[in-house]
Amino acid sequence: MNVHTSATAPALPILTIDDLHIDFALHTGTVQAVRGISFELYKGETLALVGESGSGKSITAQSILQLLPEPVRYTQGSIQYQQQELIGASTTAIRKVRGDRIAMIFQEPMTSLNPLQSIEHQVAEVLIEHKGMTRRQAAARVLELFQLVEIPDPKRRLKAYPHELSGGQRQRVMIAMALACEPDILIADEPTTALDVTIQAQVMALLKGLQHKFGMAILFITHDLGVVHQFADRVCVMRKGQLVEQGITEAVFSQPQHPYTCELLDSEPSGNKPPVSQDAPVILDAKQVQVEFPIRAGFLGRVVNQFRAVDGISLTLRQGQTVGIVGESGSGKSTLGKALLKLLDGHGDIHFDGIQIDGLEPLAMRPLRRKMQVVFQDPFGSLSPRMTIGEIIAEGLKVHEPLMRPDQRDEAVCAALEEVAISPASRNRYPHEFSGGQRQRIAIARAMVLKPKFLLLDEPTSALDRSVQVRVIELLRELQDKHKLTYLFISHDLAVVRALSDHVMVMRTGEVVEQGPTEEIFNCPQQAYTRELIAAACPLGSSAERACNPA
Partner 1 sequence: MSNATFAAQGDSLMKDALRRLFLNRATLVSTLLLSVMAISCFFGPLFFSIELDDVSWEFMGTPPGEGGHWFGTDTNGRDLLLRSLYGGQISLTVALIATLVSLVIGVSYGAISGYMGGRVDNLMMRFVDILYSMPFMFLVILMMVVFGRSILLIYIAIGAVEWLDMARIVRGQTLTLKRKEFVEAAHALGVSDRQIILRHIIPNALGPVIVYVTLTVPKVILLESFLSFLGLGVQEPMTSWGVLISEGTANMEGAPWQLFFPAAMLAITLFCLNFIGDGLRDALDPKSR
Binding stretches for partner 1 (CB under 8 A): 301, 341, 343, 365-367, 369-370, 372-374, 376-378, 381-388, 390-391, 395-396, 399-400, 406-407, 410-411, 414, 424-425, 427-430, 432, 443, 446, 450
486 vs 218: CA distance, rounded Å: 45
Query: Smallest distance from the beta carbon of 419 to partner 1, in angstroms?
Result: 14
Q: How far apart are alpha carbons 372 and 342 in whole angstroms?
A: 10
Q: How far is the CB of 25 from partner 1 (least distance, A)?
A: 19
Q: How far apart are CA 323 and CA 16, in angstroms?
A: 49
What distances in angstroms separate CA 518 from CA 194, 502, 522, one per listed residue? 26, 5, 6
**Phi then psi dihedrals of residue 66, to 5 deg:** 55, 45
Least spacing, CB of residue 459 vs partner 1, in Å: 11
- Closer CB to partner 1, residue 378 or residue 532? 378
CB of 363 to partner 1, least distance (A): 9
Nearer to partner 1, 21 or 429 (CB): 429
For partner 1, which is the closer residue by CB, 31 or 303?
A: 303
Nearer to partner 1, 152 or 298 (CB): 298
User: Over 226-276, what HEC string results?
Assistant: HHHHHHCCEEEEEECCEEEEEEEHHHHHHCCCCHHHHHHHHCCCCCCCCCC
CB of residue 194 vs partner 1: minimum separation in angstroms?
Answer: 18
Give first-to-last CA distance, the chain, whole Å. Answer: 15
- Contact call for residues 64 and 187 (beta carbons, < 8 A): yes
Burial of 277 (0-12, 13-18, 19+ CB in 10 A): exposed
Q: Which is nearer to partner 1, 156 or 405 (CB)?
A: 405
Judge whether 480 and 513 are in contact, CB under 8 Å. no
Question: To which H or E segment does residue 103 belong?
Answer: strand 102-105
Name the minimum Å distance from CB 128 to partner 1: 36
Shortest reach from residue 430's CB to partner 1, in Å: 4
CA atoms within 13 A on the CB side of 538: 19
3-state secondary structure of 301: coil
Give whichever of 182 and 378 is closer to partner 1, judged by the CB atom: 378
Task: Between 66 and 438, name the residue whose CB sits nearer to partner 1.
Answer: 438
User: Residue 360 to residues 283, 355, 373: CA-CA distances in angstroms?
Assistant: 17, 10, 17
Residue 458 CB, nearest approach to partner 1 (Å): 9
Of residues 132 and 362, the one with the C-beta less far from partner 1: 362
